[in-house]
Amino acid sequence: MTDIALPTHAPASLRTMAGIEARRLARHPAFLVGVAAAFGVMILVYATNKDPHLGDLLSMPVIPAFFIGLPSMVATTRLTRSTEATAEAIGTAPGSEARRTAALVLACFVPFTAGVLWTGLMLALVSVHGVHPYEWWFGTMPDWQVWTILIALGPVACLGGGLLGVLAGRWLRFPGAGAVMVVVVVAVNMLGQGPFVNGSSLVRLWVPWAMFHSGTETDGTATLYAGNSAFYLVYALCLCAAAALVAIWHDRTARTGRLRGAIAGVVIVGLAALALSMTTGNDQNQDSKPVPYKVLNK
């Protein structure tokens, strides 16, 4: 039997480990079921739509965030814990704990890619079906605003779910930690922004998944919530980076000045982006004109 030699230099070794973890994540049942549900719901919405246009498009990223991001959190928590359980059982593991964590962090681009593909599918269906001129979408709001909302609440939310799972797998030792994290994240998002979307809506932007679109109201209008979505995207990316860095921090040997500086830098940039998301852009909620077919369908 021929031995297979792994690359010995650090970058190649990390790439190899990341590839292994990415394949494990892509085959995990929770992730596969979530991806199937996300794409299935989008196709079902399109197939059963009886209206002349697709609507509420800026609220649709909740689909990949929920069906891909949250299951990815469970999957990466379990993968992180299983890697350490194997290391403890055999008394050794490839690379340091920090290196193994970095590999898991890189593997989280699997759910990110799934989120990108889901967004691409939505855009393809929209190009076929079209949108009403009164919808909050391209043409009724700046392109950068549409893109940043779609990216922050879709692919980046999927990435963040995976990274939170790695963080939980490193720091939480009790059974079911991934499921508990899911409940905590959902509760924080609902309780953290629910009371503020109609009043002081800018307060809601501290949560990891903040709404920017209300969906259709009873009178056929829709509300675009206040705030700067470009800076909110930066804030969301900083939350992702913070989750990755704090997961690596669990390895005591990795607690270098460089890592401390990276964490401090991410915190500073994230807080600045959060402040700018609250103080720039639209400072008031904006209501669309009533969409006629939505009024008739109520």
User: Residue 54 and residue 249: Cα distance in Å, rounded?
Assistant: 45
Residue 10: exposure state from Cβ atoms within 10 A (0-12, 13-18, ≥19): exposed
Q: Please, what sign has the CA dihedral across residues 14, 260, 152, 209? A: positive
Confidence (pLDDT) at 88? 53
Question: Which residue stretches of the chain have pLDDT < 70?
Answer: 1-12, 84-95, 196-200, 296-298
Q: What is the pLDDT of residue 87?
A: 54
CB 13 within 8 A of CB 94: yes
Looking at residue 286, the DSSP 8-state letter turns out to be E
